[in-house]
Amino acid sequence: MSGHNKWSSIKHKKGAADAKRGRIFTKYIKDITVAAREGGGDVDSNPSLRVAIQGAKSVNMPAVNIERAIKKGTGELEGVNYDEYTYEGYGHNGVAILVEALTDNKQRTVSEVRHAFSKFGGNMADSGAVSWMFNKMGMIVVSNTGQDEDEVMMDVLDAGAEDMESDEEEFTIYTPYTELHNVMMKLEEKKYEIQKAELTMIPKNRINADNVAEKLFRLLDFLEDLDDVQKVYANYEISDEVFERLSAE
């Protein structure tokens, strides 16, 4: 499995508690609302809802916000109906980009996404042009509290996961996308502290972007900050040297 999404790591370290928190909350509220609308408001019988709530808790969303989003999804409170769309395109160096959106106005969303690609040096592509370059998987992040890595790996594999990465702060676990909820439950039973759990898109291959990293990240940042955009994936890689430089800026 390839390394962590370094762009996301940079954004997390530099902006986890800044003015963008409200926008981050909005994205998770949409996730929860849609999950509750499609599968009901009971977390025990709705794995998608449980995963969405876990994501919301990972950014310290207040419980009252979570409960309100569930009620909007189940119809107990009036809410907006969101539809899911995926847009595809290319960034600098031919980096493939997937954009997942939840919106109540498709025309507005596609216009904003197209403008972002154009403004920051990328271009949109037809449906299917780059999606084949990614695998849909589950991702679980658990705290690294000094556990023996080999023992963690054994627990992870026994739980049904496919692979794991580690650093000083956390273990990132990858699962078949249909098994995300089951693996999460088994790890919780083993008393692992789960920080985050979500479905993600993992690139099959990566393109080096050292020479265009700043330009590429401006495009990815702008896309992710659009109100209707939930997630952005890209198949780039950058060196540790470039990562450290951008992290320090």
Sheet holding 96-103, edge to edge: 123-125, 83-90, 96-103, 229-234
| Distance from chain centroid for Cα 107 | 24
Does some domain include residue 10? no
Distance (Å) of CA 49 to CA 9, 167, 222: 25, 28, 27
* CATH number of the domain bearing residue 22: 1.10.10.200
Domain hosting residue 93, numbered range: 83-132+206-248
> How many domains does the chain contain in total?
3
pLDDT tens, 41-55? 998 889 899 999 988
CATH code: domain of residue 184: 3.30.70.980
The β-bridge partners of 97 are 89, 234
pTM equals 0.85
Residues 140 and 184 placed together within one structural domain of the fold: yes
In which residue ranges of the chain is pLDDT below 50?
1-4, 12-17
Tell me: do 91 and 66 sit in the same domain.
no
Amino acid at 187: L
- What pLDDT score does 215 carry? 93
Taking each continuous run of H as one helix and of E as one strand, the counts in the chain are 9, 10
Q: Assess whether 232 and 121 both reside in one domain.
A: yes
My answer on whether 96 and 157 are in the same domain is no
Q: Read off the DSSP letter of residue 120.
A: T
pLDDT of amino acid 8: 58
Establish if 1 belongs to a structural domain. Answer: no
Q: Is residue 64 part of a domain?
A: yes
Predicted local distance difference test score (pLDDT) of residue 6: 56
In a domain, 3, yes or no: no
Whether residues 142 and 190 share a domain: the answer is yes
pLDDT at site 58 = 87
Q: What is the pLDDT of residue 139?
A: 93
Q: How confident is the prediction for the chain on average, in pLDDT?
A: 89
Q: Is 163 found in the same domain as 65?
A: no
Q: Can you tell me the distance from the alpha carbon of 32 to that of 247, in angstroms, rounded to the nearest whole number?
A: 31
Q: What is the pLDDT of residue 229?
A: 95
Q: 89-114 burial by CB neighbour count: b if 16+ within 10 A, else e?
A: bbbbeebbbbbbbbbeeeeebbebbe
Tens of pLDDT, residue by residue over 143-196, are 898 899 999 999 999 999 999 998 888 999 999 999 999 999 999 999 998 888
The reply to whether 127 and 213 lie within a common domain is yes
User: Structure tokens of 97?
Assistant: 């980009």
